[in-house]
Structure 1
Amino acid sequence: MTSNYKHLPSCFVYYLNPTDMWSETDNKLYRAFTFSDFKEAFAFMTRVADIASRLNHHPTWTNTYNKVEIWLSTHDAGDIITIKDRELAKAIDTVAK
């Protein structure tokens, strides 16, 4: 269990920590994805956009050829990481598999 969540039961900690692939920096979750080509990267972004729209929570991201970088924070909460970010990160992880 991570120290940030020591007050929560372990089942919640698993839910709140998307994966070890996301890092927390400057009150944002961050992860980079690399694909075989631009078309695959763009298809990934399209799937993420569908999920983000359904969750009404949209990432800050960049795409350069086959690389997609994503930063997640909740703007309404003062640009900090909230449960919305962790839920979206978990959904993005599912799409990336």
Structure 2
Amino acid sequence: MSDEKTPLTEEQIAAALVEVPGWRRDGDEITRSYGIRYHGGVAMIVHVADVERLIGHHADIDLRWGKVRFGITTHDAGYLLTAADFDLAQRIDVIAAAHQAEPIDG
């Protein structure tokens, strides 16, 4: 993969998805949900947001009672998938594990 913000080809997206097990493609974004108690979810989101600020890339985040959903796409690349999205997905997985969040479907 070349530039972090260059849209990926379908082949590159398929290969990148293998590197982030549990993440699903939903159109031009990748998504994943975690089960976590509400206040733990808030703490996890703050941790993710701090990392996002440092790397200059962010996810769309949906916090519900007992569940946090992340959706990632590159807004400044026309809402297409880039290497930056998959890098952020890997970072979110590490943060979620540190907060003892459980991956869930849906």
Partner Cα separation in structure 1 for residue 90 and residue 42 of structure 2: 19
- 2:61–2:68 CA contact under 8 A, matched in 1: yes
Question: Which amino acid is the alignment partner of residue 68 of structure 2?
Answer: V
TM-score norm. by structure 1 comes to: 0.80
| Moved beyond 6 Å, runs of 4+ | none
Partner of 1:89: 89
Partner of 2:11: 4
Provide the secondary structure at the position in 2 that maps to 1:70: strand
Partner of 1:47: 47
Count of equivalent residues: 85
Partner of 1:24: 25
Partner of 1:56: 56
Counterparts of 1:71-90 in structure 2, within 5 Å, are 71-90=71-90
Q: Which has the higher contact order (CA 8 A, sep 6+)?
A: 2
TM-score norm. by structure 2 comes to: 0.74
Percent of aligned pairs sharing the same letter: 26
Which runs of 5 or more structure 2 residues have no equivalent in the other structure? 1-9, 98-106
Provide the secondary structure at the position in 1 that maps to 2:81: coil
Measured on the aligned residues, the alpha-carbon RMSD in Å equals 1.5
